[in-house]
Amino acid sequence: MATQLPLDPFRGFRFRVDILGLQMAAFSEVTIPEITVATVDYREGMDAPVPRTLSGLVSYGRVSLKKGMTTSTELYDWHAGIVQHGTSWPNAKRHVTIALLDQGGDNMLARWDAYYAWPTVLQTSGLNAGSAEVMIETLELAIDSMVRAK
């Protein structure tokens, strides 16, 4: 008897983010970027006056990571290194793995590997004396490529 695959879609509330060289990874929200293939219209001189569509450059959106602000300055330090030295300094570009876990957090359901990631935006939520909300740090990463490895 064949094993039936589960038909329920995955739930996105339990995940893990690993950034090469960083110890902390307690993110509350992650945006997996879009992958876009540009189109190029092509027509040779003797073709009918209808262009053919060919694939062009592949582009990747930004990975967005959000977490509660703590005493850790690892994300700030990484971004500050880019601000001071650009992407040519050692450890500027890093491998990032995003793993979607099952509800128990024991098994990996899907994994995305983002290659040569580096921070482009570091944003901290505003201060408000009339609010007790958690301060949120948002880090946006540019990436060269990304694959769904599982």
Number of alpha carbons in the 13 Å side-chain half-sphere of residue 44: 2
Which of 83, 106, 80, 102 has its CA nearest to residue 6?
Answer: 102
**C-alpha–C-alpha distance, residues 47 and 42, integer Å:** 10
pTM over 0.95: no
| Angle ∠(69,92,27) on CA atoms, nearest 5 | 25
Position 28: which residue type?
A: S
User: pLDDT tens digits, residue range 13-32?
Assistant: 999 999 988 876 689 999 99
Torsional sign, CA 121, 142, 91, 65: positive
Cβ contact 137:123 at 8 Å: yes
| Residue labelled with tokens 């009339």 | 130
- Write out the two tokens for 75: 């994300």
**C-alpha–C-alpha distance, residues 121 and 142, integer Å:** 9
Q: Report pLDDT for 10.
A: 87
Taking 70 as the pLDDT cut, the residues of the chain under it are 1-6, 24-25
Supply the CATH classification number for the domain 15-148: 2.30.110
**C-alpha–C-alpha distance, residues 20 and 59, integer Å:** 23
Query: Would you give the end-to-end CA distance of the chain in angstroms?
Result: 25
| Angle ∠(72,66,133) on CA atoms, nearest 5 | 80
